[in-house]
Chains A and B, each alone.
Chain A
């Protein structure tokens, strides 16, 4: 008995643990709950004292207003076009590069770390010149411009996640294929690539979430036509609460897909957050 109570990792009273986790969960959920409630609350309830924790007459009017009057729907469509294209490109090019880095040690450590360093560049340092260059080439406020920008913006993560993934796949089968006279491309296409599919899917989903939630590049590189979903929120600024319902409705619409996708790749999260440096 005495021994058991001595156990260091069992000494913490479970009640303290439950309380701590409970408070933290509350901290996470309250903003989301309040946002959801605001999105279905009639505008008359905004300033009620005490606050209305659940509206008596829930309404969807803010959703229709956010999607149509505030062009939220166009933002969603733009975000989908841009994020999906950039995701596919980033996953494809990232996988090619990662395979080369993992199998042939291309460019030694330097090339891999050069790609990684792109991830840590402050966006504000490159977005100004990109803006000027885009204006010169007519890429400002175009789908192509945004897709290229987001592809480059997500490439370091795609490359490094897949780099770690390929290093975890034994290369003996590819070597056997090469001995049998397969070209290098074929041994990549037919052997390594199918094995890497789960990793590619996870990397692609992280890239998609990154694009879907990105704000800074979109704020500067788009305006009237290819504005993405996060930039629509500018429309709700500075009205002292008049548009809270619409803002909340759009937020709910926007966060559901990325949370669902994120939860799907939860087990790859450590790899995603550390760019493959830590295996989850």
Chain B
């Protein structure tokens, strides 16, 4: 009897069924399979499919898809609106990311030390991160839209004469409006990451600097900046990669207008594809945009991996 139970104990491992043995051996691949298959189905397959779309004339009205070679690409290159939208995307995202970074850094520096009510202030600062960009656009429209919004009224009080700016219709004001909405939403993104970086700087460095009598700016440049460096890279890279996708607030606040003045790359491609139904041309344009993005991404991510302390 005793012998039997020992035998049984020893025998458990070899007695696993063939299926469970196979699944145990391939366990790590079984775990990744569902996620990988889904990404393949909804990201890689569409991209491959779109390679075909760019070389034909894909039109819902016209049956059959005639091969047109590079005509779709030529049309995008020849379109001045396409070029304009790309320029605007670069300028707007550069402006947005720069302002968000500087403001986020200033906030992080003021918030790094503890004070009464810090927790509550933190909770309020991060609120915009949880709001749909559509609603952010709506909120700023409410504030800025002439004649309904209170902005012009407040400015009139401030300057003592009548201010009547068409914030969502006049250049250059509408660019300020778009930037302010983006800054409102994404400054906390920079803030949160930079604050995490600041709090991880060992405090004895500051104490040593203090003993040596180093002044504030010198401490900032010789301790804070080098230590924060990787975090700054990370924050800017992540933010920039999202900033170039700018679409939602434009859709709500200006609708791309007036004319095509506020067309970003995403908005341009959306309009060509879904308002004009030039599916193939839009797909060709999105390939150009994708290639530009991939080049920028790989450069940034490579630099990010270089500086990462791990």
Interface residues of chain A, those whose CB is within 8 Å of chain B, are: 3, 6-9, 11-12, 17, 20-21, 24-25, 27-32, 34-35, 38, 46-47, 49-51, 93-94, 96-97, 99-101, 103-104, 106-107, 111, 115, 117-118, 120-126, 128-130, 132-133, 148-149, 151-152, 155, 159, 181, 183-185, 209, 212-216, 219-220, 229-230, 233, 236-238, 241, 244, 247-248, 251, 254-255, 258-259, 261-263, 266, 269-270, 273-274, 277-278, 280
Q: A11-B216, A122-B245, A274-B238 are in contact. Are A28 and B35 (CB under 8 A)?
A: no
Compute the total of residue contacts between A and B using a CB distance below 8 Å.
273
Question: What 0/1 pattern do residues 102 to 141 of B give for CB contact below 8 A with A?
Answer: 0100110011010000000111111111111111101110
**A130 near B46: Cβ-Cβ < 8 Å:** yes
**A7 near B20: Cβ-Cβ < 8 Å:** no
Q: Whole-angstrom distance between the alpha carbons of A28 and B124 in the complex?
A: 8
**A248 near B142: Cβ-Cβ < 8 Å:** yes
B36: Cβ under 8 A from any A Cβ: yes
User: Among B74-82, B170-178, B287-295, which stretch is in contact with chain A?
Assistant: B287-295
Q: Whole-angstrom distance between the alpha carbons of A128 and B208 in the complex?
A: 57
Name 18 interchain pairs, CB-CB below 8 A, sorted by A: A8-B209, A32-B139, A104-B27, A106-B29, A106-B31, A111-B32, A125-B287, A130-B46, A149-B42, A183-B16, A185-B27, A212-B132, A213-B135, A215-B247, A247-B142, A251-B138, A273-B238, A278-B197
**B124 near A124: Cβ-Cβ < 8 Å:** no
Question: What 0/1 pattern do residues 212 to 227 of B give for CB contact below 8 A with A?
Answer: 0111100110000000
Q: Is the interface of B mostly helix, strand, loop or mixed?
A: helix
**A120 near B127: Cβ-Cβ < 8 Å:** no
Whole-angstrom distance between the Cβ of B167 and the nearest chain A Cβ: 13
**A273 near B193: Cβ-Cβ < 8 Å:** yes
Q: A115-B39, A244-B142, A278-B193 are in contact. Are A28 and B184 (CB under 8 A)?
A: yes
Q: A106-B32, A118-B39, A216-B248 are in contact. Are A50 and B153 (CB under 8 A)?
A: yes
Residues of A within 8 A of B148 (CB): 46-47, 241, 244
Q: Which of B128, B209, B269 contacts A124 (CB 8 A)?
A: B269
**B127 near A128: Cβ-Cβ < 8 Å:** no
Q: A30-B143, A244-B148 are in contact. Are A21 and B134 (CB under 8 A)?
A: no
User: How big is chain B's contact interface, by range?
Assistant: 35 or more
Residues of A within 8 A of B124 (CB): 25, 28-29
Q: Whole-angstrom distance between the alpha carbons of A277 and B28 in the complex?
A: 23
**B143 near A106: Cβ-Cβ < 8 Å:** no
User: Which residues, 257 to 298 on B, are CB-close (under 8 Å) to A?
Assistant: 265-266, 269-270, 273-274, 279, 282-283, 286-287, 289-290, 293, 297
Q: A34-B143, A155-B39, A259-B127 are in contact. Are A128 and B286 (CB under 8 A)?
A: yes
Q: For B20, give the chain A residue with the smallest CB separation.
A: A183
**A115 near B244: Cβ-Cβ < 8 Å:** no
Residues of A within 8 A of B127 (CB): 28, 32, 259, 262-263
Residues of B within 8 A of A273 (CB): 129, 189, 192-193, 238
Q: For B287, give the chain A residue with the smallest CB separation.
A: A125
Residues of A within 8 A of B38 (CB): 93, 148, 151-152, 155
Q: Whole-angstrom distance between the alpha carbons of A133 and B27 in the complex?
A: 32
In the A-B complex, the 4 residue pairs with the smallest Cβ-Cβ separation, listed nearest first, are A262-B130, A213-B132, A129-B46, A100-B31
**A121 near B43: Cβ-Cβ < 8 Å:** yes
B34: Cβ under 8 A from any A Cβ: yes
B45: Cβ under 8 A from any A Cβ: yes
Residues of A within 8 A of B139 (CB): 31-32, 34-35, 251
**A215 near B134: Cβ-Cβ < 8 Å:** yes
**A129 near B49: Cβ-Cβ < 8 Å:** yes
